[in-house]
Every structure is written in C-alpha cells, then in structure tokens.
Amino acid sequence: MAYENILVEKRDGIAFITVNRPKVLNALNRKTVEELGDALRDARDDGSVRVLILTGAGEKSFVAGADISELAVQTPVNGKEFSLFGQGVVHLLETMGKPSICAVNGFALGGGCELALACTIRIASKTAKLGQPEVKLGIIPGYGGTQRLARLCGKGVAQELCLTGEMITAEEALRIGLVNHIYEPAELLPAAEAMAKKVIANAPVAVKFTMEAIERGMEMPQEEGLFLEATLFGLACATEDMKEGTKAFLEKRAAQFKGQ
C-alpha cells in the first residue's frame, strides 16, 4: 500500500514504520494518523511481521506533536472526535498483539510522546527531547498522555510534565523510566533492530501472551493479574512451541519456533 505521509518497509520479520513529514518535524495531521492506522492494521494482519519499529524521518524529530493548523480550528464537538480518533489509532498500536519499539530520534512532543508511550519499548537518541506541552496551547493531552504517562512513570511525574508543559532531555527520560535506553544518533536504529531480532528469536505465542499478561495485568488488582498470568501460562504449555523450546534446551540446540 502506498502512503503519502508514512514510509513502511518490511524485512526479516520487522515492519519499519516511519512518519515522513520532515518539513514540519513529522507533525501528525489527520491524514498521517489515518495512514498510520492503516499501516498498523496491515502489520497486525501480516503473519510475516513479528515486531514493529516506529521512528521519524530526518534527524530532528520523531513526531513533534499534532498539526497546530488543524488544532486551532477545533470546536468542542470536533475536538472530542479528534481526540477519540487519535486515541483509537494509538490504542491499536498498544493492543495489536505484536511488540513495538519506538526509536525516538529527536522531538517527541504532544502526540509524538503519546505515540511513543503506546509502544511496547522506547529507546531514544541522546539528542531526543520529550514532553507534553499541550497546556501551553490551552489544551490537554488528547491521545492518552495523561493516562499512559501516569501509569508508566507515576502520578507525580505525569503531573509535572503535563502541567509545566516543559520538554525533558533523553537522559531525564531515561532516569524517570520514560525510555529504556539512550544511544548516539547513528546507533539508534541499529539498536532498535538488534532488540527486535532478540524478540523474534523467541516463541511468537509466548511473546504475545507475555505482552497480554503485562498490559492487562497492569489494569487489574495483583491477585487477578496473577490469575491471568497462570491462565496464560497454562495455555502456553499446550503449544507446539513449548514442546520445541523445552526439547531444544535439553538437547542443547537452538529452538525452531513456528508460532503454534
């Protein structure tokens, strides 16, 4: 499928999805969000894709936020629909059953930070800047920032970042747990690909069940989360991959997983 504002490349089990509007620092307008949704659904439904890597075109920005020219004309009714539509695409990224790695290669502000928050793992260039500056425009985060940031980094961190609207450095993002690792700019995408290959080497069903246990368990009391974990553990024990994985370990060889 051809896109105007998104680049997609698939190779070695990885779908590389790049927001491609470098002249406006990869800002998210409606068309870009729509195309991103289409690209995510395509990757979700493609059996050859095991991991997604999201990044932005150019060296300055991952996604510098929403397109301000579109934001400026929102009415109360349109604004709610604008938010819900974006939330739907971001939710798809979070719940598609395949892990995603966000390679933050520059500014990740507003909707860009929210997109990163919905990814399974976040890594960043040392030059990256992250933040939720919506209050500076008289609005609030609308693509899930108030919810995911608090869950990931804690209520106090979310309050500070969302209320001040200030950007933070990659080093600070690492300190508060917003990103997992930081790299020199030239090392960022190779590091993302290396991490993706580590995930791909593992049993596909086990990876999916692990993600489900973590994502759903975070929304449950611990006792319910433990029950979910035990249930998914039991299901994993019924897979061909479990038999292959344990047999390969005992035979001291590399497992050949089939996702069954």
Which residues are part of the catalytic machinery? 114, 134
Give the separation between CA 207 and CA 237, rounded to whole angstroms: 13
The amino acid at 213: A
CB 132 within 8 A of CB 162: yes
Residue with tokens 């086990």: 206
Give the separation between CA 215 and CA 47, rounded to whole angstroms: 22
How big is the CA angle at 14 (ends 13 and 15), to the nearest 5 degrees?
130
Query: What is the separation of C-alpha 218 from the centre of its chain, rounded to a whole number of angstroms?
Result: 16
Give the separation between CA 178 and CA 121, rounded to whole angstroms: 9
Question: Backbone phi, then psi, for 229, in 5-degree steps?
Answer: -60, -45
The amino acid at 1: M
